[in-house]
A and B are shown apart, each in its own frame.
Chain A
Amino acid sequence: MAPPLTLLIVEDDEAAIGVLKTVIPKKFPGVAIHIAGNGPAGLEICKAHAPDIVITDINLPGMDGARMTEEIKSLRPDTRFIVITGYSDLAHLDRFRSIGISDYLLKPVKFNELFDAIERMSAPQ
């Protein structure tokens, strides 16, 4: 049996985190979920727990999502990312593309899209 999937969710809306934390394990039993409210915290958790997948918002307090992603990538190149964004932030996607991130979800988040993305990322490459 494969080692349990480890996720990091970087999001500053605690209520949203509450729902994600409840629903994702139902779809992916045994998943380990780490939570960070801002960019620097997310970076620390990556150093400590080496998550397989990082689900991150673009707008984050303290450090923007793109910069955090960049730093994590240089630290742990295997990490995969699911970027969540709103329409008005589409301009920022260029920066993500330039660091090799092409998977993103639009807000408001639809769980089936999120599940598909997690499944795609967690499949052996």
Chain B
Amino acid sequence: MTAPPRVSSRAAELRRSAEQRLKAKTAATPLPLPLAPEDALELLHELQVHQIELEMQNEELRHARDELEASRDRYGMLYDFAPIGYFTLGRDGAIRTANLAGAALLGTGRARLIGRRFPLFVAATDRAAFADYFSQAFSGRQVQSCEVALAGGDGGPAVVQMEAALSGSGEECLVAVIDVSARKRAEEALRRLGGELEHKVAERTSELASSLERLKEEMAGRLEAVEELRKNEMLMIQQNRLAAMGEMLVNIAHQWRQPLNLLGLKVQEIGLTYELGGFSKELLDANVARAMDIVQHLSRTIDDFRDFSGPDKQNSQFSLNEALAKTVFLIRDNFSALGIAIKTDARGEPRIDGYPSQFSQVILNILANAKDAFLENRTEEPRITVRSWWEAGRAVVTITDNAGGIAEEILDKIFAPYFTTKELGKGTGIGLFMSKAIIEKNMRGQLTVRNVEGGAQFRIEV
């Protein structure tokens, strides 16, 4: 039997050891020689069939080996280029294999890793935890994971999650190492943000609470101020009332002087004529009658003043001209003593709804204002004209003075509460304010003012 011509030295080696094995075998059980020719032919045939079978087997084996090699290369690539780190560690912790990602994690070239102990790459603080985990993995328990910090890699210290599995032989441990630093940093950032947010919320809440507190205080302060203002207003109104009463007393004094004087003269005349001559029953009766007239007159003027300053009567319809005449009558003597002439010009018979005493108060306030202006400006020949008439379904009253008028810049302020141009203690600043309120709120009319030739003109429409 000759060997095939292109047989390799490896094949030659195989042949030699096969011949040796055959020699040993035939020594134990030698072939029955010589062989009959037909036996020899059959044997040859057998051998040829064997040879072909072996060649076929050999071919199959070679093929299987090629496939295995291709497969191994493929998995080797997958292993090397996997995005997570893989290590094979021995019982002593020595690194037996590592892929590229694993080497990058440890920050060392792959060639220099082999044989070095893995725990050296774990941060000192986590080494005990790693050792514990590693020994558990070798004890064959189920696949578990743990997180440790590495001592340092390309991107600085990294935190990794490890999952270890014991190899089939039990002599090696396969470890997958995943870099969770980014996730950790994100978690940390999130936790910090959460903390900051909480802090901010707490800060803002406390700010809001203190704002609320301040607002409450301010509100209380304002309520107090409003209350103070209301009290002040009451006081002002009270003062205005007292001032009006004082004014009334002056009016009464002036109005009563003449009748009282006359009453005195009439009474004295009785005694003097009795004493000096000329006394008679007729004179006595006449003087008593006259005295009683005067007493009646004085009594009536008390009623007039009381009507004016007394409490409000019912809302009623009243004659405008009558109310004006009564009011002017109340102050005429006082004004005439001051040299102020009052002219009235009443036309028609306007009747209006409202409170007569309040209406009188308004007229009196306006007249008193004119009087004060005359005194302040030392007006020569002071004069007031009160006109009233009926116009387009409304009663109109104008009160015009010649006291020089009101300065344009304060014309729109004179109805404001507490506004006064008078010296301290002389004006309350409430008279015209109340007048406007009475005419516009209580009587639904209008009270306006304007300057006319030489003075001011107040106009009431109701």
Contact = CB atoms under 8 A, between A and B. Distances in A.
Contacts of A116: none
Interface string A71-103: 000000000000000111100000000000000
- Helix, strand, loop or mixed for chain B's interface? helix
A88 to B, nearest CB: 5
6 contacts: A13-B262, A19-B269, A86-B253, A88-B250, A107-B257, A110-B264
Interface in A19-62: 19-20, 22-23, 26-27, 59, 61
A104 to B, nearest CB: 14
Contacts of A111: 265, 268, 272
A59 B254 CA distance: 11
Given A16-B265, A22-B278, A108-B265, 16 more contacts: A15-B290, A22-B273, A23-B268, A23-B273, A26-B273, A26-B276, A26-B277, A26-B278, A27-B276, A61-B336, A86-B254, A88-B253, A88-B254, A108-B260, A109-B261, A111-B265
Given A107-B257, A111-B272, A16 B250 contact: no
Nearest to A87: B253
B268 A26 contact: no
B261 A108 contact: yes
B258 A13 contact: yes
Interface residues of B, number: 23
B263 interface: yes
Given A88-B250, A88-B253, A88-B254, A110 B278 contact: no
A70 interface: no
Contacts of B371: none
A107 B276 contact: no
A36 to B, nearest CB: 17
Contacts of B310: none
Interface of B: 250, 253-254, 257-258, 260-266, 268-269, 272-273, 276-278, 290, 336-337, 339
Contacts of A15: 262, 290
Q: How large is the interface on A (under 10, 10 to 19, 20 to 34, 35 or more residues)?
A: 20 to 34
Given A64-B339, A87-B253, A27 B272 contact: yes
B258 A22 contact: no
Cβ-closest 4 pairs across A and B:
A108-B264, A26-B276, A19-B265, A108-B261
Contacts of A107: 257, 260-261
A110 B268 contact: yes
A23 B250 CA distance: 31
Contacts of B339: 64
A16 B261 contact: yes
Contacts of B266: 19
Contacts of B254: 86, 88
A16 B258 contact: yes
A16 B257 CA distance: 12
Contacts of B276: 23, 26-27
Contacts of B258: 13, 16
A117 B258 CA distance: 21
Nearest to B263: A108
A116 to B, nearest CB: 14
A23 B336 contact: no
